[in-house]
């Protein structure tokens, strides 16, 4: 007879809630390709406001900040340890990014201010991952990506966001916003941890076409030197 899993309170627990249950199983959307359609600043802020001030809300807000304002992958954000955050330098250390690469990225002061309430709560929990389980005997352990995605999806729906609001879309938004601010492509590439500029350019496909059109439309007319003659040969 199969043994029954129980939580700390003695209630029956689904095996799917156990750490590592989904390891090795391909996600249901594997192979799906989604367009670069990053959320606007207004949409991201609306989701953060909808979350509320419960402990779970502060944790979700912290994750949004790390994805949106530091450009992290969700796996990188969930793997962060408390010692990886350096507020004095506004820096975040990713010990093992894609391909096992180590890098350090920057994060703006507004983002640190949004992160602070969760960090205050986090200090009361066992040492471990920055984004961790809050309740029960597994408190302090790394938050599972599947649970984080579900909570983010629910928050976006509550905020009335009528587009796909996934963790990677926030990373796309980070790249597009930095491009708008005039940050060089090379800096964006290093911030995101891309192997080459070609990958970074794909992220910037989220730039609105109307912006491209207006930029090209506003180019100055071509000029030639007053001494240059336009001669026709026979």
Indicate which residues carry an active-site annotation.
73, 98, 168, 171, 194, 203
Single out the residue of 157, 146, 163 nearest to residue 36, CA to CA.
Answer: 163
Contact 128, 141 (CB under 8 A): yes
Structure tokens at 32: 């799906």
Please give the order of strands across the beta sheet that includes 103-106. Answer: 85-86, 91-94, 103-106
Residue 129 φ/ψ, nearest 5 degrees: -65, 150
Tally of residues, the chain: 234
Contact 145, 75 (CB under 8 A): yes
Single out the residue of 168, 84, 81, 65 nearest to residue 132, CA to CA.
Answer: 81
Whole-angstrom distance, CA of residue 117 vs CA of residue 121: 7
Contact 129, 81 (CB under 8 A): yes
């Amino acid at each position: 007879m199969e043994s029954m899993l129980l939580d700390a309170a003695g209630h029956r627990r689904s095996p799917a809630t156990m750490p590592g249950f989904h390891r090795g199983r391909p996600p249901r959307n594997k192979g799906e390709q989604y367009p670069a359609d990053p959320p606007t600043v207004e949409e991201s802020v609306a989701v953060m406001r909808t979350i509320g001030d419960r402990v779970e809300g502060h944790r979700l807000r912290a994750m949004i900040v790390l994805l949106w304002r530091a450009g992290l992958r969700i796996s990188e954000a969930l793997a962060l340890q408390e010692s990886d955050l350096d507020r004095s330098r506004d820096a975040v250390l990713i010990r093992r990014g894609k391909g096992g690469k180590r890098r350090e990225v920057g994060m703006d002061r507004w983002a640190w201010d949004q992160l602070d309430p969760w960090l205050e709560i986090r200090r009361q929990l066992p040492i471990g991952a920055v984004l961790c389980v809050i309740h029960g005997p597994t408190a302090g352990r790394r938050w599972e990506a599947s649970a984080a995605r579900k909570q983010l999806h629910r928050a976006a729906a509550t905020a009335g966001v009528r587009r796909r609001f996934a963790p990677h879309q926030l990373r796309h938004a980070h790249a597009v916003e930095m491009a708008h601010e005039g940050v060089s492509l090379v800096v964006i590439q290093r911030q995101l941890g891309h192997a080459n500029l070609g990958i970074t350019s794909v992220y910037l496909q989220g730039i609105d076409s109307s912006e491209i059109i207006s930029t090209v439309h506003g180019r100055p007319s071509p000029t030639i030197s007053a001494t240059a003659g336009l001669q026709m040969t026979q």
